[in-house]
């Protein structure tokens, strides 16, 4: 396994270019199962989860050709309707092939994804919605078996919780259902709108993506289309925090500032100076940061995927901040590692009270999930001395060449084999 070795204390400066959004690329790849034509996807991020989803599609019979950030996907006939556990266990987003498979081929066998470091991650809302559309669902030996005689039927579906991949899974299934489907209390993330834009180019009839009511009128089949993946708003936020936490000045280019409003508001409240352009954001620390409270919420609220990164920043801000994680039940694991670096943080239920310290100290720490890895690297950039973040395979799931991009901004970051 590899670790990331960071020499802290260097101010970052320069420009970093944002890659395509992992959480848009994954459902969009899964949605290629919905039709025969060839789909050409550009601005695809070079991250491991996208490779894993490509493997799942290939296992199902798709032809996937890649050339740098361009993916060409086509699927004339399915070879299998089963997404095996050995692939699903490495990436729970594989569950998003469920809706398209049942909608187009009438059956699917997808391994139950199981939990992960940040929570139980159930998919009960995905399954209940498919049942409402006429699918028979049974769970056997850790697999979801779903099948429908004929086509899925349009239905009115109310999601008890705003679920991002649940909304995406059912929106995809509804594209080929008989009749109209209305999703209420749908998630509103920009990646859902990007998926809807791609599906509409292919002939799907979708209204309301990006709001909490999405209406889909089923059509017989979808054709191929070309699409450029929307920039990654979480990668954007991660580099903005990198600029601020090091007291530097960073320009984040090829991003969507309009998808980052909640984070930008919090950075401004903390005293960061921001200059927002159409597709770029310039940030500088603007003196000692002030502690601010953060509460994660479904979009357009403060993103849970930026909670750990913001906590690293608050660990060296002036004053105390309360960081409440309301989306996942155990997404505070990074607190224990930040404490190893001298952070003053107390966990009280689902929130953490962070009291800023003058300086963090570099230390060997362990990543537990994708965004916790980013948090520890950000803390290492600001800390005194050397920080070794182990298990960086978590990082490679969702950040394209993070070490190279940080080095390009003047950071001293090295990737090396873990000491046994
Ligand atoms: C998506 O996960 C993202 N992943 C996550 O990003 C992100 O943290 C999350 O949305 C929240 O924004 C992808 O898009 C691939 P949810 P998802 O369903 O869809 C509960 C990252 O770092 N729930 O919106 O799995 C669930 O337990 C990853 O890039 C049910 O109870 O999240 C959670 O508490 C991490 N039953 C809440 O809803 C269900 O059937 C929101 O989960 C579905 C969800």
23 C-beta closer than 6 A to ligand 1: yes
Tell me what pLDDT residue 394 has: 94
Please say whether the beta carbons of 226 and 40 come within 8 A.
yes
The predicted pLDDT at position 62 comes to 96
What distances in angstroms separate CA 370 from CA 238, 357, 389, one per listed residue? Answer: 12, 25, 12
> Is any ligand 1 atom within 6 A of the Cβ of residue 126?
yes
Q: How confident is the model at residue 93 (pLDDT cuts 50, 70, 90)?
A: very high
User: Which DSSP category does 202 fall into?
Assistant: T
Contact 127, 144 (CB under 8 A): yes
pLDDT band at 218 (very low <50, low <70, confident <90, very high): very high
Would you state the pLDDT for residue 67?
97
**Intra-chain end-to-end CA distance of the chain, in Å:** 9
Mean pLDDT of the region 379-388: 98
**Per-residue DSSP letter, 11:** P
Cα of 94 vs centre of ligand 1, distance in Å, is 13
Mean pLDDT lowest among 85-94, 289-298, 321-330, 385-394 = 85-94
Active-site choice (81, 116, 255, 260): 116
CATH topology of 2-19+231-417 equal to that of 22-228?
yes
Q: Give φ, ψ of 151 to 5 degrees.
A: -100, 155
Domain locations in the chain?
A: 2-19+231-417, 22-228
Residue located nearest, by CA, to atom 25 of ligand 1: 165
Burial of 140 (0-12, 13-18, 19+ CB in 10 A): exposed
Q: Could you report the per-residue pLDDT of 162-186, keeping only the tens digit for each?
A: 999 999 999 999 999 999 999 999 9
pLDDT of residue 414: 96
Average confidence (pLDDT) over 394-400? 96
Please indicate whether residue 186, judged by its CB atom, sits closer than 6 Å to ligand 1: no
- Burial annotation 56-80 (CB, 10 A radius, 16+ → b, else e): bbebbebebeeeebebbbbbeeeee
Q: Is 198 in the pocket of ligand 1 (CB under 6 A)?
A: no
Token readout for 336 is 């224990």
Residue 419 has pLDDT above 90, yes or no: no
Region 193-202 average pLDDT = 98
DSSP secondary structure code for residue 259 in this structure: G
**Over 80: is that where the pLDDT of 158 sits?**
yes
How many whole angstroms from 333 Cα to the centroid of ligand 1?
17
> Roughly what angle, to the nearest 10 degrees, separates helices 124-132 and 98-105?
20
Q: Is 116 marked active-site?
A: yes
pLDDT band at 287 (very low <50, low <70, confident <90, very high): confident
- Residue 116 has which token pair? 């992960």
Tell the residue number behind the tokens 């998630």, with chain if given: 187
26-45 per-position pLDDT tens digit: 999 999 999 988 999 999 99
Tell me which of 87-101, 173-187, 246-260, 332-346 is least confident.
Answer: 87-101
pTM of the model: 0.98
- The rounded mean pLDDT for the chain is 96
146 SS3 class:
strand
Q: How far is the CA of 189 from the centre of ligand 1 (A)?
A: 11
CATH, domain 22-228, list 3.65.10.10, 3.40.50.1000, 1.10.150.120, 3.40.50.2300: 3.65.10.10
Residue 1 burial (C-beta neighbours within 10 Å; 0-12, 13-18, 19+): exposed
User: Over 80: is that where the pLDDT of 420 sits?
Assistant: no
The number of beta carbons lying within 10 Å of the beta carbon of residue 220 is 9
Q: Quick one: tokens of 311? A: 């906590």
Task: Looking at the CA of residue 329, tell me the nearest atom of ligand 1.
Answer: 34
d(C-alpha 171, C-alpha 53), whole Å: 19
Nearest ligand 1 atom, CA 328: 34
**With a 6 A CB cut-off, is 161 part of the ligand 1 pocket?**
yes
What pLDDT does residue 121 have? 86
d(CA 242, CA 379): 9
**Ligand 1 nearest-atom number relative to CA 121:** 27
Instruction: Tell me, using a 6 A CB cutoff, whether residue 122 lines ligand 1.
Output: yes
Q: Residue with the nearest Cα to atom 43 of ligand 1?
A: 123
124 lines ligand 1 (CB under 6 A): yes
Query: Of 104, 181, 86, which is closest to residue 147 (Cα–Cα)?
Result: 104
Q: Is the pLDDT of residue 400 over 90?
A: yes
Fold classified for 2-19+231-417 = UDP-n-acetylglucosamine1-carboxyvinyl-transferase; Chain (3.65.10)
């Amino acid at each position: 396994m590899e670790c990331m070795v960071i020499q802290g204390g260097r101010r970052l400066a320069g420009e970093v270019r944002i890659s395509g959004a992992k959480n848009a690329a994954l459902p969009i790849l899964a949605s290629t199962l919905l039709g025969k034509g060839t789909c050409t996807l550009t601005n695809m991020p070079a991250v491991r989860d996208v490779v894993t989803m490509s493997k799942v599609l290939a296992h199902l019979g798709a032809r996937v050709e890649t050339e740098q950030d361009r993916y060409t996907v086509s699927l004339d006939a399915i070879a299998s309707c089963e997404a095996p556990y050995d692939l699903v266990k490495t990436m729970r987003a594989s569950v998003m092939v469920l809706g398209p498979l049942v909608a187009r081929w009438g059956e699917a066998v997808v391994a139950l994804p199981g939990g992960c470091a940040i929570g139980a991650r159930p998919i009960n809302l995905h399954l209940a919605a498919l049942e409402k559309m006429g699918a028979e669902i049974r769970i056997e030996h850790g697999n979801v078996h779903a099948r429908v005689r004929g086509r899925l039927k349009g239905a009115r579906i109310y999601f008890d919780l705003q679920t991002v991949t649940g909304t995406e899974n059912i929106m995809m299934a509804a594209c080929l259902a008989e009749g109209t489907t209305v999703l209420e209390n749908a998630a509103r993330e920009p990646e859902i709108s990007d998926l809807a834009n791609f599906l509409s180019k292919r002939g799907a009839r979708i209204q309301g993506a990006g709001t909490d009511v999405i209406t889909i009128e089923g059509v017989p089949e979808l054709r191929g289309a070309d699409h450029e993946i929307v920039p990654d708003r979480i990668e954007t936020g991660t580099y903005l925090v990198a600029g601020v936490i090091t007291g530097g000045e960073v320009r984040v280019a090829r991003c969507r500032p309009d998808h980052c409003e909640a984070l930008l508001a919090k950075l401004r409240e903390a005293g960061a100076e921001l200059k927002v352009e159409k597709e770029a954001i310039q940030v500088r620390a603007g003196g000692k940061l002030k502690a601010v409270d953060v509460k994660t919420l479904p979009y357009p609220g403060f993103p849970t995927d930026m909670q750990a990164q913001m906590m690293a920043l608050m660990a060296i801000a002036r004053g105390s901040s309360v960081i409440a994680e309301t989306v996942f039940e155990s997404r505070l694991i990074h607190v224990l590692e930040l404490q190893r670096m001298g952070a003053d943080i107390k966990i009280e239920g689902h929130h953490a009270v962070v009291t800023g310290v003058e300086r963090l100290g570099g230390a060997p720490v362990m990543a537990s999930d994708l965004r916790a890895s980013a948090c520890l690297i950000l803390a290492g950039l600001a800390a005194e001395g050397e920080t070794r973040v182990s298990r960086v395979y978590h990082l490679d799931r969702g950040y394209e060449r993070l070490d190279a991009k940080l080095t390009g901004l003047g950071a001293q970051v090295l990737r090396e084999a873990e000491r046994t």
